[in-house]
Amino acid sequence: MIFIKLFFEYFKIGLFSIGGGLATLPFIYELQVKYPDWLSTADITNMIAVSESTPGPMGVNMATYVGNMVGGLPGGIVATLGLVSPSIIVIAIVAHFLRKFKDSPIVEAVMSGLRPASLALVCVATVSVARAAILRTELYEQTGVLLDLFDIRHIILAIILFVAMRKIDIHPIWYIVIAAVVGIVFKF
């Protein structure tokens, strides 16, 4: 039964990929080798492009895409449920113990180490977003002109949005919508 197989393959991916959506990618390549009739390498390339250009967590998008390729609409649902099931189980257990020992000084000491580490990892991710958002590394590698490295229009938009965020208290959704419109109008 293809749906049961799909569920368990994705359950395994959910269980063994640690560190977010992109961590599932090596497993998807393995899946392609194991079941060549499920999807082709070209499908994977298209999957990455679509998952990056649509809203939603990368890992979930990719699971829905693969599931759709394999078994249509129900396939997409089954694959995603397989992916998130280990998370739900593991986090429910972790959260239970966290609540139970909430006032324990040991847990608080561990957390005091985790929080700054978590912030640092978000900062690392921010650097890679910055590279995609305001730098033109490909153009710079071709021309070697330092001025080509910085995408002036993108930097101006980033500064305007950032200042606006500090002054005007509106929902982040609006900044995303506005930036999308600016991107289309000014052909970013």
Partner 1 sequence: MNKYLDLFLTFARIGGFTFGGGYAMLPMITRECVDKKKWATEEEVMDYFAIGQCTPGVIAVNTATFVGGKIAGPLGGFVATIGVIFPSWVIITIIALFIQNFAQYEVVQHALAGITVAVFALVVNAVLKLGKKSVVNVMGLIICLTVFVLSAIVKVPAAWLILLSGVFGLIYTKISNKNAFKSRDEVRDTDQNEKEENVEKEDE
Region 25-44 residues binding partner 1, contact defined as CB under 8 A: none
User: Which residues does residue 150 pair with via DSSP β-bridges, in sequence order?
Assistant: 135
Q: How far apart are CA 26 and CA 46, in angstroms?
A: 15
Binding mask 64-93 for partner 1 (x = CB under 8 A): xx--xx---x--xx--x--xx-xxx-xxx-
Instruction: Please tell me whether residue 106 binds partner 1 under the rule CB under 8 A.
Output: yes
Q: Is there a contact between 29 and 44 (Cβ–Cβ < 8 Å)?
A: yes
Q: Which of 6, 25, 51, 71 binds partner 1 (CB under 8 A)?
A: 51
Provide the token pair at 168: 């005007």
Q: How far apart are CA 48 and CA 12, in angstroms?
A: 20
Instruction: Please tell me whether residue 168 binds partner 1 under the rule CB under 8 A.
Output: no
Q: Which of 120, 139, 142, 150 binds partner 1 (CB under 8 A)?
A: 120
Instruction: Please tell me whether residue 14 binds partner 1 under the rule CB under 8 A.
Output: yes
Q: Which residues contact 178 (CB under 8 A, 6 or more apart)?
A: 161
Q: Which of 1, 129, 147, 168 binds partner 1 (CB under 8 A)?
A: 129
Size of the site for partner 1 (CB under 8 A): 92
Q: How far apart are CA 24 and CA 12, in angstroms?
A: 10
Instruction: Please tell me whether residue 137 binds partner 1 under the rule CB under 8 A.
Output: no
Residue closer to partner 1 (CB basis): 149 or 158:
158
Residue closer to partner 1 (CB basis): 4 or 170:
170
Residue closer to partner 1 (CB basis): 6 or 84:
84
CA 73 to chain centre: 22
Report the sign of the C-alpha dihedral through residues 153, 158, 163, 165, in that order: positive
